[in-house]
Structure 1
C-alpha cells in the first residue's frame, strides 16, 4: 500500500517550500520568464550552445516493465537534443512515494516524474510541482485538447495544470485459453454477464486449480464490479458510496468467489501475479499496464488472452492515467519542460504507443498501441474506454482509500459480514472527506 504524509511531514514540506522560495538559485523562474514557444519539431530542435557539460535530467517512474521502451524514447530525445541527458530512475510503487516524500522535504525531487490521481492534490497544493499552464498555452507541440478532458482535470489544481497526461489504462479479464479448451468452455467475450463469469469459474475450479482470482484489490478488482452494479465509491457530492446497497451487493458478489472456494485468498500484488503466471487460476483481472510483462512471459503468451470485463446492470472498467510532472525547484526548468513537451507531443505519444509502452492518451494514438502487440487481443482495453469510469478520487484519496481498504479486509477474511465492513468503510471515508476544503 502507499505511504502517507503524517502531519509533521506535511509541516516539513511547507517549511521546505518556504525555505526553497528564499533561495534564489533554487527558485524556478516566473511562468512568464520560463515560457518560450518552441521553434521546431522534436527532431529538429537543437539544444542551446553551452560551454559546460550537457544538462542531466532525472526522470522518475515506478513501472520497470515500461523502462526499456522509455529508455529508447529518451535515447531518441537525447540524439535530437544533444545538450540534454535523461537519467531514468525506476522505483517500486510503495518505495516511489517514500522517495518523493524524502525529496520533497530535502529539496531533491527528481526533475521530471510520474504523478498519480491519488497524489496530485498533495503535491500541487503544497507547491511541489511546476505550474505548466502558460508553457502549455504557448506550446505548438503539447496540446491539452488532444487528451481526454477527464484525465486533464485530474492534474489541474485551482485552474492550473501541474502535469500532462502520459497514458490511460483500463482493466481486462485475462483468461487461460488452454484451461478453457480442456473444460470445453467458450472464451469470455463482450457479452459476458456476472452469471457467465461465476459459472465459468465454478466449472474451471478442479484438480487443485482455481477458476478465478478475486483478490483484495481495488482498481484491478472490486471497484469495477461496484460500478458494473450501479454502485459507487464516491458520489458527485463527495460522499462515500460504500454504504450504497448496490455497492454492498457488488462486494458480496466479488467476495463470494473466495467464500465458495473458486478463488484463492490473496492480499498482495506479487502473489496475484504469481498465481496467474503459474497456472494456479484460470482467470484474473489485470490492467493494461501489465501488457509488456505478460507478453514477455512465455507461459502467459502461450496460454492466455484478454477480454472485456463482464457486466451486470451495465458495463464498466476503471479508467485512469498517469501524468508527467516537473519539480517546482528543478535547476533546469527549460530542459525539463522540453522533455515533458516531447513526451506530451503527438510525436512522443505516438512513439510511446508504437513501442507498446502504454496506451498513449493522445487522440488517435491508442490504435498504434493496439498494433504494437499481436500476442493478445489488446483491442479489448481500448474498446472499454467508451463505458469506462474514472478511478474514484478526491483531494484526500491518499488518506481515505487506504483506510477504507483496511476496513473492508475483515469481509475478505470472513471475520465480518460484507455489509458491516462496507458501512465501516463508509464511515471512515466520510470522516476523511469532511476535512476537505
Structure 2
C-alpha cells in the first residue's frame, strides 16, 4: 500500500522531532540482546570463522549443528538475492548475530545477508526518515513502543499468510501478551524476538546484613516501601538506596505501578489522560515521599553527580529494583553481590507487571519477501533463540535451555514463567503512535515535581493539559 501525502509528511516530521529514547525507553533495560550498544561500531570478524572469546566459533558451530532448524513451505529463491537486515545490538550480541548469519547462509546459499547495525538512540529517527523517502531494509527491528508508528503508516508487511505456509510455526509458543504490540485490524505485523516481564530483584547481601527477610509473593507495595526505608543507609558515594529507580511517567507505568491502585496513565485506547486523577495522584505521592522524605531512592542530582549515571542496583548500591528479566544474563555473570528475584509486589487492586520487548518485521515493499520470511522464521524460532542464547526469549520453549546455558537459577526461571502466565500484561502499556511525544512532554514536568519546583497536583494537571492534544494522533492512526 502506498503512503499518502499526509502519512509521508507525518513520518518526515516524526523523524525530525522524535525524542532520543534511551535503552530503557520506559523499561530501564540497559543491556539485552536488542538494546543500545555500549560501544559504537561493529566488531571486525573473520568472515570464514566469525567469533571471539565470548562466542568462540567452534562452540557456535557445534551448537548450530546440534539444533533442528525449522522448515517452511516458502521456497528458497532460485537465484542469488541480498537480504538487508536492520537491527540494533551491542558489540557482544553482534558477534552472535554474525554467526547466525554465517550458518543461515550455509543452509540457504542463495540468500546473502547484509546487516545494518545501528545505535538504539538513533535507530527510530534513521529508519522513519528512510521510510518517508520510500526505502527501507527488508527486515527491520522494532521496539515495542515504536511498532504501531510503522504499522499505522503501512511500512510493515502482514505476516499471517507466511505463518499459514509454515506448519511448524507454533504461534502458541509465543505469549499472547507479547503479540498485541504488533497487531492491528486482526493482522500480525511483527514477531517478538525477546519478551519478558518485570520482576522485583533484590540484593541478598544487603538484606542479610540488615537481618531482613527476602521479598516473596506476600509482599505489597507498602511492604516494599517500608523495607526500602529500613535498608537505606550512608551518604555520598557510599550510600545504599532502599530502592531504585524513582517512578517516572514512562510507557509501562500503568502495570508497573498504577494498576495496583486502580489507576492508569491513559485510558485503554490511549485517547484520554488519566494521570491527574485521584488514584494516580495517590501513587505518585507515595513515591515522592520515598524520594524526598525518606531519601530511599536516588534523586536526579545523585544520579547525575554522585553515581555518574550508573544504575545503583547493578553496582551493589541498592537493595531492590523492579526491572525486566532481560538483565538476568548480566546478573548471572557479576560477582559483586548475591541476588534474588521475586514477584512484583501487589496492591489493593491486585498484582500486575508489564510484559515488554522487541520484534522483527518485514518491509511491506521489500522485493525479497520470501527470503525475508525464511530468515524471520529461523531467527525468531525457538531454535534461533536458543542459538543466540538470549536471556529473555519470546519463545517460551527456549527459556529453560537458555537459562541453563547462561547459569540462571531455576527458581528465577519459575518466577519469570509465573509472572508471564499469571499477572504479566500489556494492558496499559503505551504503544500507539503518540506515545513517544507523550513521554517526552511529561518528563521535564515530572522532573520539576521531583525537585519540588512544582507541586504534585499542579504537575500532574500540567502533564494532562500538555499531552491531551497529542493524543489526537492515536485516534487518526
TM-score of the superposed pair, with normalisation by structure 2: 0.73
Number of residue pairs aligned between Structure 1 and Structure 2: 400
2:74–2:166 contact (8 Å) kept in structure 1:
no
1:165–1:322 contact (8 Å) kept in structure 2:
yes
The unaligned stretches of length 5 or more in structure 2 are 1-5, 15-68
CA shift, 1:394, in A, is 2.9
Aligned to 2:154: 127
Aligned to 2:456: 418
1:370–1:379 contact (8 Å) kept in structure 2:
no
Q: 1:242 aligns with which of 270, 275, 278?
A: 275
2:224–2:345 contact (8 Å) kept in structure 1:
yes
Aligned to 1:312: 347
Secondary structure (helix, strand or coil) at the match of 2:202 reads strand
**Alignment pair present for 1:164 and 2:188:** no
The unaligned stretches of length 5 or more in structure 1 are 1-5, 15-39
272 and 87 in structure 1: CA distance in 2 versus 1, 3 angstrom threshold: farther
Which is worse superposed, 181-190 or 369-378? 369-378
Which is worse superposed, 139-148 or 249-258? 139-148
**Alignment pair present for 1:343 and 2:379:** yes
Question: How far apart in 2 are the matches of 1:13 and 1:326?
Answer: 23
Question: How far apart in 2 are the matches of 1:304 and 1:197?
Answer: 16
CA deviation string 1:53-104 (max 9, x = no partner)? x634324125556444444443432332223243444433321112212322
CA shift, 1:226, in A, is 0.9
Which is worse superposed, 184-193 or 273-282? 273-282
CA deviation string 1:195-220 (max 9, x = no partner)? 32122222221133222213354357
CA shift, 1:184, in A, is 1.5
Secondary structure (helix, strand or coil) at the match of 1:170 reads strand
CA deviation string 1:275-310 (max 9, x = no partner)? 2233332222221222223333343xx432322211
**Alignment pair present for 1:196 and 2:229:** no
Aligned to 1:10: 10
Question: How far apart in 1 are the matches of 2:345 and 2:170?
Answer: 35
**Alignment pair present for 1:276 and 2:336:** no
Q: 1:405 aligns with which of 424, 443, 449?
A: 443
Aligned to 1:328: 364
Aligned to 2:54: none
CA shift, 1:312, in A, is 1.6
Aligned to 2:414: 379
CA shift, 1:111, in A, is 2.2
Question: How far apart in 1 are the matches of 2:73 and 2:166?
Answer: 15
CA shift, 1:224, in A, is 0.9
Question: How far apart in 2 are the matches of 1:118 and 1:272?
Answer: 24
Question: How far apart in 1 are the matches of 2:264 and 2:396?
Answer: 28
Structure 1 runs of 4+ with >6 Å offset: 43-46, 267-270
CA shift, 1:261, in A, is 0.9
CA deviation string 1:256-287 (max 9, x = no partner)? 22112111114989966442233332222221
Question: How far apart in 2 are the matches of 1:115 and 1:412?
Answer: 31
Question: How far apart in 2 are the matches of 1:104 and 1:366?
Answer: 34
CA shift, 1:235, in A, is 1.9
Secondary structure (helix, strand or coil) at the match of 1:360 reads coil
Aligned to 1:291: 328
Aligned to 2:48: none
Question: How far apart in 2 are the matches of 1:132 and 1:157?
Answer: 12
**Alignment pair present for 1:392 and 2:430:** yes
1:166–1:360 contact (8 Å) kept in structure 2:
yes
Question: How far apart in 1 are the matches of 2:171 and 2:148?
Answer: 19
Which is worse superposed, 382-391 or 273-282? 273-282
